[in-house]
Structure 1
Amino acid sequence: MGYVAVFDIGTTSMKGVLLDEQAAFTGASSVELETHYGADGTVEQEPEDWWEGLLRITSRWWNEWKIDPGQVEMITFSGQMEDVIPISDASHRAILYSDTRAGEEAEEINEKFPDIQQVLGNTVRASSPVAKLLWMKRHHPELDQTFDQYVFSAKDYIIYKLANTAVTDRTTGSTTGMMNLETGQWETDYIVSLGIEARKLPELLSAEEVAGQVSREASLVSGFRENTPVLCGSGDAGASTMGAGAVSRGDAYVYMGTTGWAAMIRGNEDQEAKVEGAFQLAHIPEDAVISIAPLLNVGNVHQWGMQTFAGKEADSYAGFEEMVESSPAGANGLLFLPYLQGERCPVNDPDAKGAFWGVHPKTGPADFARAVMEGICFSFKQVVDSLNESTTGSITVIGGGTKSRTWCQILADCLGRPLSVREESEYMAALGAASSAFIKLGWADGYHDFCDKFMSNEDSMVYEPEEEHVRLYEEKYERYLQLYPGLRGVYVSS
């Protein structure tokens, strides 16, 4: 039996799984990752932790699951995007997507190139790698000179470690502030005019293109057979979109992970349908664009709420769920603005903060817990409505957050729409990433065929909205929308 090995590198964890020709999962394994937070909006990870995570997962495959490395026919990936990851002989931390240190540089780029969004298809923000590269040149020129190349997705670093080649995919490229969405190529003249060396950028490939083969050195360390093909794979948004079964125009879904987003598929020609604050990303099927509205505050806020109100004990997850359920819908009037790390859509404000409003003498701990979850769901409602306001019907939800039945039910009530959650939803990005390998190996005839064969909704859990709660949340949502505008002056003056 042959397998495709898939690695999905997120922010809090790295997952690995083997899929056979029928897309059956084997060896599903996860490794926790550490994130380093610093002053002035710095958010970093050690790229070597990703590599060590891969080695731990493969060790389990060979030693615990007794998989023969010779059965692995191809390796592919999904990974967090918008990172700046140096390639050099010495180990250096990666600047993550949520890092906002390059705000001034982003403003300068937009002032110098006011029409850059029309050129690239996306605007430049503090999170954009092009702004971070400019920050690096300005603040650490001595380090910039020592770096041979940069890559922009966590999975790109693993590809480099396996195959000694620097590449990235076009979904990831769309987030860099340097790739032309229409041509799928680097906008070289613009990049050079900023003082960035174009030679340090990775080669742009499609997800199904072979980036290289496992080197002898990597084979000895990882256990993979030497010369096993290594695909370019896709940034997490592309893989998750495939995992949600969204390949045709109008398909929409929600992703609930450490961060989150709502997304809709559009045609390449649908430029007039752009939503303010949303990214336009090249999809894995090359004739489509993912219009994606990203949220910084999703699973991280759930984790904060759980630790703050239910404690850090091993059973705190279940305890937090019980707290949320013990408070009535509406949290006894308590509202929560979930901007713990600033926000980028629909509010683009790195200085935004979280806030509770509506505390009264009868407010209890369970109300705070439920208000946290309702605040996250209201934030999702903002971006879902902005992308998909005219449509109705069930919406697919994927990501680790779907493990919480309480969260899913509150989201269904806030959206007023049924939610469809597939079995093993947290591994849907890995399944989506595998699609390119299935096509390359001839196990699927194309991306639509892959979805038809392996993305059935028959085993999905459906959360139906409760009409009484829907009406209550519609009223509460209108008050929620007033929180950020009302507090913005406080953020600015603080």
Structure 2
Amino acid sequence: MREYIAVFDIGTSSVKGVLVDRSAAVTGDCSVPVNTYYGDNKEVEQSPSEWLEAVKKITDYWWRNTAVKPSEVTAVTFSGQMEDVIPIADGKCDRAVLYSDTRAVEEAEYINKVCPDLASKSGNTVKSSTPLAKILWLKSHQQEIYHEAESFVFSSKDFIIYKMTGRKVTDPVTASTTGMMNLKSGKWMPDLLNLFNIKKTVLPEILKPEENTGFITDSASDETGFLTTTKVLAGSGDAAASTLGAGAVNKGDMYFYIGTTGWAAAVDTTIRDTAESVFVLSHMKTGMYITIAPLLNAGNVHQWALDFLIGSSDTDRYELFDSLVNESPPGSNNLLFLPYIHGERCPVHDHQAKGAFVGISPTVNKSDFARSVIEGICFSYKQIIEETLPLRSKKYINLIGGGAESTVWCQILSDITGEVIRVPAYSEYLTALGAASSAFIHNGWTEDYQSFSESICADESAIYYYPVEENSELYSEQYKYFLNMYPGVKDIFY
């Protein structure tokens, strides 16, 4: 009998689903967009019911449009956005507070004041995005929601697991972002919870990504079509799934991710002291850690530039934008772009930061604006690997995510960073494959995450981009000016 794994990636902009067979072939690719609510007071929220409806639409698509039968699905696993706070009361949640919600500034400052050494245990400095701070914010500002909550979960996929099995769980990767888990032990810190009067019973159980959380309930079977004999695994936070999918499992392995937002990440065997804006997370592979430098500005800035310079109606606007970029020489006729349109987390931590063009002259034209946008984003990647992620072992850096589909973007990234950029084939599926690794291990299809990476994520058809020496020399000079842009303009906007 054929056997498949159902994989859901519950992200910020959409819920994606694929079916993966034993040979790691992907079928049933389906994506359903979800809405985000942005309030006047820094609220960034989503409706968990939309995540569930999206999952139901995806499974309905599978049973109607693929040859896969529910009886052939052996397990369901996940990746999902992290740093959320999802209060569950009476089996439901009306609003999930997302990772990019920054209302809890005062609470984060208070936590760091009373627990100055917390980062040495949790691995991360508490920020306004940290779930611990958000829980305290709810306790102070939305007391009814806080007191009615039977439990809190911290990833979108945790909520779907709850709706599928009735069990409240999370994984060590997601728990790493909460500020409440000891990174070395992988357990909640009872002394910290007592200090802030948070009952351990409201927190989910921490399970490894490959552990079984339970089976599909009767009601979930009716809604999704999965059989009640189908296992539901804990899965992992999206950053770890991407890391595994990018083949980063050993010390010094590094990769770039360019999606709506972006990051650079490196794997290590130790927990390093890092800058405030950098995350240290558990790896799916036990005993390994992921250091992640997050960028709020990546593909979303590219989308802004598309709307600004091309318009939203052209069906081939991506190709038109790349052509426009190619019309401009490296360096964009000395036009520089600071890409902090959405504020920034790394290499600067400033949610009030703004974007800027500098160097407009009579010789600058539309194509220079297009190219400088891509160059500005790539300068940010260069800055974070130089300032926060110096450790790397391979002679190339893997690039995954939607940005990897643009050959123009890939070459500029190579020229600016001076690194060989490797783009695996089908990089758009690598996060899903990384998430699927947990089910491969659970099913006994592969021995461990190391062997999965070597056998499944290895890709002989990858494309390599090599830095052009002349371009890299030019960009090295421009980079010096780029580093001065944020300090030079930040006071203008305050």
Q: Same fold (TM over 0.5)?
A: yes
Aligned partner of 1:325 in structure 2 is: 326
Query: Are 1:259 and 1:297, in contact at CA under 8 Å, matched by a contact in 2?
Result: yes
Any residues of structure 2 matched to 1:5-44 within 5 Å, and which? 5-44=6-45
TM-score by length of 2: 0.96
Counterparts of residues 85-124 of structure 1 (less than 5 Å): 85-89=86-90, 90-124=92-126
User: After superposition, where does 1:232-247 map in structure 2 within 5 Å?
Assistant: 232-247=234-249
The 8 Å contact of residues 124 and 179 in structure 2, kept in 1 or not, is answered as yes
Q: What residue in structure 2 maps to residue 292 of structure 1?
A: 292
In the TM superposition, residue 76 of structure 1 has moved relative to its aligned partner by: 0.3
Question: Tell me, what secondary structure is at the counterpart of 2:41?
Answer: helix
Say what the alpha-carbon RMSD is for the aligned residues.
1.4
Q: Partner residue of 1:437?
A: 439
SS in structure 1 at match of 2:267: strand
Q: Secondary structure at the match of 2:108?
A: helix
Tell me what 1:201 maps to.
Answer: 203
Map residues 62-461 of structure 1 onto 2, 5 A cutoff: 62-89=63-90, 90-267=92-269, 270-272=270-272, 274-275=274-275, 277-313=277-313, 314-389=315-390, 391=392, 393-461=395-463
Structure 2: distance between partners of 1:428 and 1:455: 8
How far 1:226 sits from its partner (Å)? 1.0
Q: Is the 8 A contact 1:394 1:418 kept in 2?
A: yes
Distance (whole Å) between structure 2 residues aligned to residue 304 and residue 451 of structure 1: 35
Q: Secondary structure at the match of 2:79?
A: strand
In 2, Cα distance between the equivalents of 1:381 and 1:358?
Answer: 21
* 1:3-46 deviation digits (Å, cap 9, x = unpaired): 01111112112211111111111111112222222223221111
Q: Which amino acid aligns with 1:119?
A: K
Give the Cα–Cα distance (whole angstroms) in 1 for the partners of residues 411 and 360 of structure 2. Answer: 24
Q: Is the 8 A contact 2:260 2:300 kept in 1?
A: yes
Contact in 2 for aligned 1:151/1:167 (Cα 8 Å)? yes
The 5 A counterparts of 1:458-469 are: 458-469=460-471
> Could you tell me how far apart the structure 1 residues matched to 2:373 and 2:61 are?
37
Q: Counterpart of 2:5?
A: 4
Identity %: 50
Classify the secondary structure of the residue corresponding to 1:241: helix
Q: CA deviation digits over 1:47-105, x for unaligned, max 9? A: 11111111111111100113210000001000111111121245412111111111111
Aligned-partner SS, 2:248: coil
Give the superposition deviation at 1:454: 0.7
Deviation at 1:170, TM superposition (A): 0.5
Decide whether the 8 Å contact of 2:79 with 2:435 is kept in 1.
yes
Counterpart code for 2:427? S
Contact 2:78 2:234 in 1 (8 A): yes
- Partner Cα separation in structure 1 for residue 456 and residue 3 of structure 2: 17
Superposed displacement of residue 131, structure 1: 0.8
Q: CA deviation at 1:276?
A: 5.0
- Quickly say closer, same or farther: Cα 1:232–1:405, change in 2 above 3 A: same
Contact between 2:124 and 2:276, CA under 8 Å: does it hold in 1? Answer: no
* 140-149 or 284-293, which deviates more: 140-149
Is the 1:134–1:196 contact (alpha carbons within 8 Å) kept by the matching residues of 2? no
User: Which piece of structure 1 moves more, 112-121 or 75-84?
Assistant: 112-121
The one-letter amino acid paired with 1:370 is R
- Kept in 2, the 8 Å contact 1:167–1:205? The answer is yes
Matched residue count: 490
Q: Deviation digits for residues 343-363 of structure 1, max 9, x if unmatched? A: 111111111111111111222
Which digits, 9 at most, give the CA deviation of each residue in 1:247-300, with x for residues without a partner?
111111111111111111111xx3456455321101001110111111111111
Give, as a single letter, the amino acid of the residue that structure 1 aligns with 2:472: V
> Retained in 1: the 8 A contact 2:16–2:31?
yes
What are structure 2's unaligned runs of at least 5 residues?
none
Q: What amino acid is aligned across from residue 256 of structure 1 in structure 2? A: I
- Aligned residues of 1:263 and 1:387 also touching (Cα < 8 A): no
Contact 2:335 2:368 in 1 (8 A): yes
Partners of 2:354 and 2:490 within 8 A in 1? no
Secondary structure, counterpart of 2:491 in structure 1:
helix
Structure 2 CA distance, aligned partners of 1:431 and 1:145? 39
The answer to whether the 8 Å contact 2:271/2:289 transfers is no
Letter in 1 for 2:468: E
Displacement of 1:188 in angstroms is: 2.0
Kept after mapping to 2: 8 A contact 1:275/1:386: no
Alpha-carbon shift at residue 388 of structure 1 (Å)? 4.1
Runs of 4+ in 1 over 6 A off after TM superposition: none
For residue 150 of structure 1, report the CA deviation from its aligned partner. Answer: 1.1
Cα offsets for 1:370-411 (capped at 9, x unmatched): 111111111111112234436572110111221222211111
In the other structure, the counterpart of 2:474 is 472
One-letter amino acid of the structure 2 residue matched with residue 343 of structure 1: E
Question: Is the 8 Å Cα contact of residues 87 and 148 (structure 1) preserved in structure 2?
Answer: yes
Per the TM alignment, residue 214 of structure 1 is displaced from its structure 2 partner at its CA by 0.5
Task: Assess if the C-alpha contact under 8 Å between 1:343 and 1:352 holds in 2.
Answer: yes
In structure 1, C-alpha distance between the alignment counterparts of 2:405 and 2:34, rounded to whole Å: 19
Distance 1:418 1:160 in 2: 42
CA distance in 2, matches of 1:272, 1:331: 37
* Distance across 2 between alignment mates of 1:36 and 1:319: 31
* Aligned partners of 1:9 and 1:80 also within 8 Å: yes
TM-score by length of 1: 0.96
Deviates more, 1:291-300 or 1:388-397: 388-397
Residue range with higher mean Cα deviation, 403-412 or 210-219: 403-412
Report SS of the residue matched to 1:371. Answer: helix
Q: Secondary structure at the match of 1:39?
A: coil
Q: Write the distance in 2 (CA, Å) between the matches of 1:136 and 1:239.
A: 29
- The verdict on how the C-alpha distance between 1:183 and 1:334 changes in structure 2, with shifts beyond 3 A counting, is same
Does the 8 Å contact 1:241/1:247 carry over to 2?
Answer: yes
Structure 1, gaps ≥5 residues long: none
Q: Distance in 2 between matches of 1:172 and 1:404?
A: 30
Residues 63/327 of structure 1: CA separation in 2 closer, same or farther (3 Å cut): same
Q: Is residue 133–residue 196 contact of structure 1 (8 Å, CA) maintained in 2?
A: no
Amino acid at match of 1:290: I
Distance in 1 of aligned mates of 2:417 and 2:150: 47
